[in-house]
Amino acid sequence: MIKKILIMLVLLVFSSSAHAENSQEDSRSQTNQVEEKKVTQPDTAQEESGLSDDFLREMAHWYGPKNYAMHTNKEYFNAAPAKVIQNIFDRWLNIDEGYLDRHPHWHREDRSDITFDNFINAFYFFPADSKFSTATAICNKRENYNEIVLVTDLGKWFDLNQGGADDYSVSLWEWYNTVAIRSGDEDFIHHSKPVVYRWNAPIPETLADEILRTGGFEIYVESNQYRSMGIMMDKEWKEENKVFPNLNLKANVTIQNINEVRTCFHSDM
């Protein structure tokens, strides 16, 4: 019975997200936080029963948005200090069970200290898998906007957009609380509650210019602790089904064919 209920929830979440995104690309959805992850979880996780990560991942494969998101790998995960791993599971399982009372939030209530440097120094960020360190860029010219799509051997995972609702914007595909990007002399940070699977935020034109000039950027993401595969989950669900935590990730990205896309954007848009 619970499987049927969760299937319906997954379908509902992903169908609504896909509608909000208006995006139906052909590459498969990336759902792993840790590639080839057979990692040992702390003793706080209960015996596995009901729905597993594999089941949720299969649902996302068939019904999820057709894009990828950064993930780390088993080597990087296992290299993290034990104290970091303990804190990650504590935050994941107890985000509504006292964790926030025991750990001050990384920024002030008035948000005056939400800066790139404060953010990247507030968390432990796992390196994204090395396949995200290099990307191939594809220039797509549309009727009312242009986009530079970054792809790896997995598929599409990052869009740099010109036009549309904003002069310039970035799109990713995951439930992120915070995204920070630095390229050359420009940096950017956006912190908000995610509402759809397609993360999108306006960026300064100067950041887009720097990415095209330098051919690369650093990116840091803080993953939402309340959702897995778009489904809102409490501690009981996470423990019962041994749902793996959403991890904070970082990557230093080089666009290997940058010369081919530097003229993708129109100066008159």
| Within a domain: 204 | yes
> Is pLDDT larger for residue 81 or for residue 14?
81
User: For 239, what's the count of Cα atoms within 13 Å in the CB-facing half-sphere?
Assistant: 12
* Structure confidence at residue 39 as a pLDDT band (50, 70, 90): very low
| Within a domain: 160 | yes
User: For 60, what's the count of Cα atoms within 13 Å in the CB-facing half-sphere?
Assistant: 22
- State the average pLDDT over residues 34-49: 44
**CA dist 72 → 35, 49, 97, 249 (Å):** 6, 26, 27, 7
| Within a domain: 113 | yes
Please say if the pLDDT value at position 9 is more than 60. no
Instruction: Give the phi and the psi of residue 7 in degrees, each rounded to 5.
Output: -60, -45
> Is pLDDT larger for residue 154 or for residue 78?
78
Please say if the pLDDT value at position 10 is more than 60. no
* Structure confidence at residue 153 as a pLDDT band (50, 70, 90): confident
Contacts of 251 (CB under 8 A, 6+ apart): 70, 127, 128, 132, 133, 218, 219
- Please count the structural domains in the chain: 1
Q: Distance between CA atoms of 16 and 265, rounded to whole angstroms?
A: 30
Please say if the pLDDT value at position 23 is more than 60. no
- pLDDT, tens digit, for every residue of 249-269? 999 999 999 999 999 997 666
| Within a domain: 268 | no
| Mean pLDDT estimate for the chain | 83
Q: Full-prediction pTM beyond 0.85? A: no
| Within a domain: 252 | yes
Cβ proximity of 80 and 245 under 8 Å: no
Strands of 124-248 (E only): list them: 126-127, 134-141, 145-151, 156-163, 166-173, 176-183, 186-191, 198-202, 216-223, 227-228, 231-232
Cβ burial, residue 156 (10 Å; 0-12/13-18/19+): buried
- pLDDT, tens digit, for every residue of 122-134? 999 999 999 999 9
Please say if the pLDDT value at position 16 is more than 50. no
Query: What per-residue confidence (pLDDT) applies to 92?
Result: 97
* Structure confidence at residue 26 as a pLDDT band (50, 70, 90): very low
| Within a domain: 184 | yes
- pLDDT, tens digit, for every residue of 178-216? 999 999 999 999 999 999 999 999 999 999 999 999 999
* Domain extent for 256: 2-260
> Is pLDDT larger for residue 6 or for residue 72?
72
| Within a domain: 265 | no
**CA dist 24 → 27, 29, 51, 132 (Å):** 9, 11, 27, 22
| Within a domain: 269 | no
